[in-house]
Structure 1
């Protein structure tokens, strides 16, 4: 990971039918997730006449079952056929998307969200683990970066499409689009061919007891740092449009996400290759600094220029941090437990996202959104301290030990 470079001529092929298929399967999966994330609160309040508390419970129900299924799916992926698990999850996900058509009460919607969270937790973990397995080891940083790019694009296209539909069309059209996206995710996933691993992949499963059957311990340190990142990231996806309206910039909300995504897209070809050539430290510390500065700038926003500038800075920081943390979690874990490592990473990332959305919402309720984003920036800064204590310092100690042994 040091200063060693991998020449282009020796680079194994990254882009092939299987990697492209799993990337698109993930893209359509997350498109559906983000469309529903921004439109169901409106559906609950306008169509089902629910309260804000019921909106929060509906979103929490989805996150809870997603978080529970993450580690379970990681374990299943390492023990069973990943392709079957992926297809089963995507079939259930698509059936749930269709079920929104026939749900006309809050209690039925709440039950549906619980089941939909199960299917999403399984499918998102499966696509992530399968993608990692298809990426050549020498291009892991670059490959994970491009895979997460598809998720980042879904984060922008999904809300924009969802809000546009409910503004000009009915909820029937909205749910029909979700069904189509679920089918596209299923079709894309069915095209993925997963290489048959060596027989030792399954026999190498260690006889771990207790929680280690569901959690990969070596992925925990970096996943804790990622939890702090997602804690603050939740404030962007959950409260940005409300915050923008409160400062008279509501019409710029969609542009914020476009700028945010554009910076991720523009930086991704560089960040992935830099990770593989020079290691994660070159990306993580600047990434934390940029994300922190972006949050602080957002907390002070009062004009369109400052508002959109904060989106650009946040996009650069997030684009460097998300794939770096995920790649570190994968590389730190044994090859036969990478499914568990993926599940462990997203277990903490999703948990941080859900907790952050709630806690920062309480901060905003007792103060204002300016202070909320300021606090979110301070929390992100803490992830640099955690990264150094949980990963970087250990990396340095291992390097010194290897030098002494030599």
Structure 2
């Protein structure tokens, strides 16, 4: 009982969550504005603007892949600070006008540094959260990104309508500096297990990817792929069904749904196991996608946003918690990196792949198809993790530990 009351909201937890909020806010703020800026200021083509927007995620993937291997050798706090310094410097380099090639290069570097800082913050928070409150803690930590997902695009679009892009860039630099200064005050306890030498020798796949986290990462990749259709195409769909004004509130109700539910789902997962959260989330997410496909009124569209928030929003934090729980403490960096690689790949490459399907299906049919894909993924989850989780929880109940 003593252990179950360990403090979650420590100074360090709040600092790392705040840092994660700031860097994610910058990411989403630029995602909705950089393409238009590239077309207006650099004369970029539509395809170049798309590449400028998306190459950030490629950089983030590379950053997560590389830093997951070396984070223990460098040091977790040091990795976070270096990542934030480079992240802020990349934000400043947007002011340098050397044409589209340099802008592409800087977007790639900016993404790499976010992958570096994001993996470090996720690893640190997984380390400082009490073991008995792991899912609950990661759920709260993920809320910082959820808030940024809703606030970032809103600020970006508002600033782009009333200010120049230079003001947007200046705002991003200020946020980066605040994140860096804040990170200096975090305390990261040393790991009990010393494995620095073994982490960096050789060229095994396991040096870059945590094998224990791969099954749940596959699930993460698939559900993120489905969610990317909402993230990228909801505005286009809203235009088609004449609900443009309502669509601006879609991610707001999505964020509210996540914020309201996370405190309960995290505790339930810690006490009842991941299946208790994951299976309902699959059903709710699929229901939200199917409802979205039939949306003709503001109420239906926003209700779909609530369901998708309850479904995908809670799956996102739950799958991260599963990845961390399945991994030894000294490989948390790789587990966190593996999870985010899958998440970023699904969100980043999903829109590109779905862009080939939409002309043949239309948006409504696309959401129906992806709703079905979510349900199929639930079956895959059973075989990759759910079955084992069920057996584990049964053993714990037998022994009186759950």
TM-score grouping bracket, smaller chain normalisation: over 0.9
Partner of 2:176: 182
Q: Which moved more, 1:96-105 or 1:187-196?
A: 96-105
How far has the Cα of 1:104 moved from its partner? 5.5
Name the residue aligned to 2:79. Answer: 85
Q: Is the contact made by 2:193 and 2:330 (CA closer than 8 Å) also made in structure 1?
A: no
Equivalent residue, structure 2, for 1:63? 57
Match of 2:345 among 329, 348, 351: 351
Question: Which deviates further from its counterpart, 92-101 or 138-147?
Answer: 92-101
| Range with bigger deviation, 71-80 or 213-222 | 71-80
Residue number in structure 1 paired with 2:161: 167
Contact in 2 for aligned 1:360/1:376 (Cα 8 Å): no
Instruction: Give yes or no for contact 1:295–1:376 (8 Å, CA) kept in 2.
Output: yes
TM-score, scaled to structure 2: 0.94
Whether 1:149 aligns to 2:149 is no
Give the drift of 1:399. Answer: 6.5
1:298-323, Cα deviation, whole Å (9 max, x unpaired):
11111111111100111111232111
Between the aligned partners of 2:331 and 2:187, the Cα distance in structure 1 is 20
Residue 329 of structure 1 corresponds to 323
Secondary structure (helix, strand or coil) at the match of 1:157 reads helix
Deviation at 1:188, TM superposition (A): 1.9
Q: Which moved more, 1:215-224 or 1:392-401?
A: 392-401
Q: 1:158 aligned to 152, 164, 174, which one? A: 152
Looking at structure 1, the residues matched to 158 and 95 of structure 2 have their Cα atoms a distance apart, in angstroms, of 19
221-230 or 294-303, which moves further after superposition?
294-303
1:249 aligns with 2:243: yes
Match of 2:265 in 1: 271
CA distance in 2, matches of 1:381, 1:199: 40
The Cα of 1:105 is off from its aligned counterpart by 2.1
Q: Given that residues 69 and 199 in structure 2 are in contact (C-alpha distance below 8 angstroms), is that contact kept between their aligned partners in structure 1?
A: no
Question: What's the offset of the Cα at 1:372?
Answer: 2.1
Residue 282 of structure 2 corresponds to which residue in structure 1? 288
> 1: distance between equivalents of 2:146 and 2:2?
26
RMSD of aligned alpha carbons: 2.2
1:59-111 Cα distance to aligned partner (Å, 9 max, x none): 33212221122122111123221111111111111111111122352222111
- Checking the alignment, whether the CA contact within 8 Å between 1:48 and 1:104 is kept in structure 2 is no
TM-score (norm 1): 0.93
Distance in 1, Cα, partners of 2:397 & 2:89: 56
Q: 1:41 to 1:209 in 2, by over 3 A?
A: closer
Cα pair distance change 1:252/1:381, threshold 3 Å: same
Asked whether 1:300 is paired with 2:294, we answer yes
Matches of 2:336 and 2:197, distance apart in 1: 20
Return the alpha-carbon distance in structure 1 between the equivalents of residues 128 and 283 of structure 2: 32
1:116 aligns with 2:110: yes
Query: Which aligned pairs between 1:215-226 and structure 2 lie closer than 5 A?
Result: 215-226=209-220
| Displacement after TM superposition at 1:208 (Å) | 7.3
Q: Contact 2:273 / 2:389 at 8 angstroms: preserved in 1?
A: no
Distance in 2 between residues matched to 1:145 and 1:399, nearest whole Å: 20
Q: Is the 8 A contact 1:21 1:188 kept in 2?
A: yes
Partner residue in 2 for 1:32:
26
**What are structure 1's unaligned runs of at least 5 residues?**
1-6
- Would you say the 8 A contact 1:205–1:336 is kept in 2? no
Matched, 1:76 2:78: no
**Structure 2: 5+ residue stretches without partners:** none
SS at match of 1:368: helix
